[in-house]
Amino acid sequence: MILITIPTPTVTIHKQENPQLSHINGFTDFHLITREEGGIYMFYNAKDELLFVGKARKLRPRIKKHFEDTVSPIRNHRDEVTKIEVCIVPDAVEREIYETYIINKLQAKYNVDKVLYK
Protein backbone atom coordinates (compact mmCIF):
# COMPACT_ATOMS: atom_id res chain seq x y z
CA MET A 1 0.00 0.00 0.00
CA ILE A 2 1.18 3.50 -0.82
CA LEU A 3 0.72 6.20 1.80
CA ILE A 4 0.08 9.67 0.39
CA THR A 5 -0.36 12.70 2.60
CA ILE A 6 -1.68 15.98 1.30
CA PRO A 7 1.09 18.60 1.47
CA THR A 8 0.77 21.52 3.85
CA PRO A 9 -0.07 24.73 1.95
CA THR A 10 2.85 27.08 1.44
CA VAL A 11 0.55 30.06 0.80
CA THR A 12 -3.11 30.70 1.53
CA ILE A 13 -4.90 33.78 0.22
CA HIS A 14 -8.44 34.90 0.98
CA LYS A 15 -10.98 36.88 -0.99
CA GLN A 16 -11.50 40.44 0.29
CA GLU A 17 -15.03 41.79 0.78
CA ASN A 18 -14.41 45.33 -0.49
CA PRO A 19 -10.83 45.38 -1.76
CA GLN A 20 -9.22 48.82 -1.78
CA LEU A 21 -6.29 47.69 -3.92
CA SER A 22 -6.28 46.40 -7.46
CA HIS A 23 -7.81 42.93 -7.41
CA ILE A 24 -8.89 39.96 -9.48
CA ASN A 25 -12.27 38.64 -8.37
CA GLY A 26 -11.68 40.04 -4.87
CA PHE A 27 -8.20 38.53 -4.41
CA THR A 28 -5.48 41.12 -3.79
CA ASP A 29 -2.60 38.91 -2.61
CA PHE A 30 -1.57 37.08 -5.79
CA HIS A 31 1.92 38.54 -5.27
CA LEU A 32 2.36 36.06 -2.37
CA ILE A 33 2.15 33.13 -4.83
CA THR A 34 5.41 32.24 -6.54
CA ARG A 35 5.63 33.04 -10.22
CA GLU A 36 8.49 30.69 -11.07
CA GLU A 37 7.83 27.49 -9.11
CA GLY A 38 5.48 24.61 -9.77
CA GLY A 39 2.95 23.03 -7.49
CA ILE A 40 -0.69 22.35 -6.83
CA TYR A 41 -3.48 24.75 -5.94
CA MET A 42 -6.88 24.28 -4.36
CA PHE A 43 -9.92 26.57 -4.54
CA TYR A 44 -12.38 26.55 -1.61
CA ASN A 45 -15.76 28.16 -0.98
CA ALA A 46 -17.02 29.98 2.13
CA LYS A 47 -18.03 26.65 3.72
CA ASP A 48 -14.44 25.41 3.26
CA GLU A 49 -15.58 22.86 0.67
CA LEU A 50 -13.03 21.99 -1.99
CA LEU A 51 -14.19 23.30 -5.35
CA PHE A 52 -11.26 22.65 -7.66
CA VAL A 53 -7.72 21.25 -7.65
CA GLY A 54 -5.11 22.00 -10.29
CA LYS A 55 -1.40 21.80 -10.95
CA ALA A 56 1.01 24.08 -12.75
CA ARG A 57 4.66 24.49 -13.69
CA LYS A 58 4.32 28.20 -12.87
CA LEU A 59 1.70 28.75 -10.22
CA ARG A 60 0.75 32.43 -10.20
CA PRO A 61 0.04 32.82 -13.93
CA ARG A 62 -1.98 29.60 -14.01
CA ILE A 63 -4.11 30.49 -11.00
CA LYS A 64 -4.80 33.99 -12.32
CA LYS A 65 -5.80 32.50 -15.65
CA HIS A 66 -8.68 30.65 -13.97
CA PHE A 67 -10.21 34.03 -13.13
CA GLU A 68 -9.62 35.58 -16.55
CA ASP A 69 -10.16 33.05 -19.34
CA THR A 70 -13.35 31.66 -20.84
CA VAL A 71 -12.39 27.97 -20.83
CA SER A 72 -11.59 27.44 -17.15
CA PRO A 73 -13.58 24.64 -15.51
CA ILE A 74 -14.59 27.12 -12.79
CA ARG A 75 -15.56 29.96 -15.16
CA ASN A 76 -19.21 29.82 -14.05
CA HIS A 77 -18.29 29.41 -10.38
CA ARG A 78 -15.60 32.05 -9.83
CA ASP A 79 -17.72 33.97 -7.35
CA GLU A 80 -17.86 30.90 -5.09
CA VAL A 81 -14.09 30.88 -4.55
CA THR A 82 -13.18 32.53 -1.24
CA LYS A 83 -9.85 30.85 -0.45
CA ILE A 84 -6.91 29.62 -2.50
CA GLU A 85 -4.29 27.28 -1.05
CA VAL A 86 -1.00 26.71 -2.84
CA CYS A 87 1.54 23.93 -2.22
CA ILE A 88 4.99 24.06 -3.81
CA VAL A 89 5.73 20.71 -5.49
CA PRO A 90 8.76 21.00 -7.79
CA ASP A 91 8.53 17.50 -9.33
CA ALA A 92 6.03 17.12 -12.22
CA VAL A 93 5.25 13.48 -11.44
CA GLU A 94 4.55 14.30 -7.79
CA ARG A 95 2.25 17.16 -8.88
CA GLU A 96 0.28 14.72 -11.02
CA ILE A 97 -0.03 12.21 -8.17
CA TYR A 98 -1.07 14.83 -5.60
CA GLU A 99 -3.62 16.40 -7.94
CA THR A 100 -5.29 13.07 -8.71
CA TYR A 101 -5.18 11.98 -5.07
CA ILE A 102 -6.68 15.22 -3.70
CA ILE A 103 -9.42 15.33 -6.36
CA ASN A 104 -10.56 11.86 -5.35
CA LYS A 105 -9.84 11.91 -1.61
CA LEU A 106 -11.57 15.25 -0.96
CA GLN A 107 -14.02 14.95 -3.89
CA ALA A 108 -13.38 18.31 -5.53
CA LYS A 109 -16.71 19.64 -6.76
CA TYR A 110 -15.76 21.02 -10.19
CA ASN A 111 -12.98 18.67 -11.28
CA VAL A 112 -14.25 16.40 -14.05
CA ASP A 113 -11.02 14.83 -15.25
CA LYS A 114 -9.22 12.26 -13.11
CA VAL A 115 -12.37 11.54 -11.07
CA LEU A 116 -12.45 7.95 -9.83
CA TYR A 117 -15.12 8.23 -7.11
CA LYS A 118 -18.30 8.56 -9.24
Strand partners, 39: 56, 88
Q: What is the pTM of this model?
A: 0.93
- pLDDT tens digits, one per residue of 46-95: 999 999 999 999 999 999 999 998 888 899 999 999 999 999 999 999 99
Average pLDDT score, the chain = 93
Summarised one tens digit per residue, pLDDT across range 100-112 is 999 999 999 999 8
Sorted by sequence, the CB contacts under 8 Å of residue 82 that are 6+ apart come out as 14, 15, 44, 45, 46
Region class of 26: left (phi > 0), else alpha (psi between -120 and 50), else beta:
left
Backbone angles phi, psi at 25, to 5 degrees: 55, 30
pLDDT of residue 98: 97
Query: Is the pLDDT score of 117 beyond 70?
Result: no
Cβ neighbors of 22 (< 8 A, separation 6 or more) are 28
- Note the pLDDT tens digit of each residue in 1-19: 889 999 999 999 999 988 8
Q: What is the DSSP letter of 24?
A: B
Residue 64: how many CB atoms within 10 A of its CB?
16
